[in-house]
Amino acid sequence: MNTMEQKKLRPAFGASFSHGWTTMIKYFLILLLVVIVMGVIMIPMKFGNLNFMPEHCNWGGEHFNWGGEHFNFFTPGFAVFGAMALALGLFALAYSLLLVPIFKYGSNLIFVHAARDIRPKFETLIQGFKENYLYIVLANLLATALIMLGFIFLIIPGIIVACRLAFVSYLVMDKKLDPIIAVEESWKLTKGHGWTIFFMGFVSIFIFILGLVLLFVGVLPAIMWISSSFASLYEAVLTEKNPQIEAA
């Protein structure tokens, strides 16, 4: 990104969405492909969402009635059914913790490159497998745990933590920081920008809904715009505060 573009990129609500829109249009095809691939990558996580609707289940004595089929807790059939459900659940958990974050963090770096007007490379999507796999997995676990802990203490603390840790994935990929330093630096960088991140997240919900209303096709551009806007905010804050961040 040249000097003139850096001056125009401000860490503000409107400026981030405006720059995000420009970025999306300029690199539309590569960003569209990234969003499509990420959608496909998320499909296996559905394996862990077993649907046991009350109207489909009837518990009575030692028998389990599911959709008209009867299972006995002590029959091999029920054991196989339970083992399959457990295996799918464990697969979905491992997939969501050990694989999905790598692609997610990689896609975030692609959007950061686009926000900097550096032509994105699709192979960046799997960069985390070759460079800082452990950092990504641990950073995702740490950030998720902190956010969930915040939500346990009512909703507002969870929202605050989520906003202040919004840059963790960018810092892990962009600056190669370890999980703890990434969390600390994200907390520092987002100081004074919490409300901007919150309102951007709030408005993003309506952008996504609008994409759904537009015959579902608009969902992909909506996600692209949202991702480009948050990457633009990260770059703007980074440029504004100009922190001396070094990888651990």
pTM here? 0.83
Q: Which residues contact 197 (CB under 8 A, 6 or more apart)?
A: 163, 164, 166, 190, 233
Alpha-carbon span 224 to 31, nearest angstrom: 7
In the chain, domain spans: 3-43+101-241
Q: What is the DSSP string of 76-134?
A: HHHHHHHHHHHHHHHHHHHHHHHTHHHHHHHHHHHHHHHHTTPPP-GGGGGHHHHS-HH
Per-residue pLDDT for 54 more than 50?
A: no
Reported confidence tier of residue 216, pLDDT bands at 50, 70, 90: confident
**pLDDT tens digits, 124-164:** 999 999 989 999 999 999 999 999 999 988 789 999 999 99
Residue with the two structure tokens 């989520």: 162
**pLDDT tens digits, 231-248:** 999 999 999 887 666 444
More confident residue, 104 or 86: 104
pLDDT at 50: 47
Contact in structure between 231 and 110 (CB atoms under 8 Å): no
Instruction: Give the number of other CB atoms < 10 A from CB of residue 145.
Output: 10
Per-residue pLDDT for 73 more than 70?
A: no
The pair phi, psi for residue 60, each rounded to 5°, is: -155, 110
pLDDT at 53: 43
User: To 10 degrees, what angle do helices 76-98 and 133-152 make?
Assistant: 110
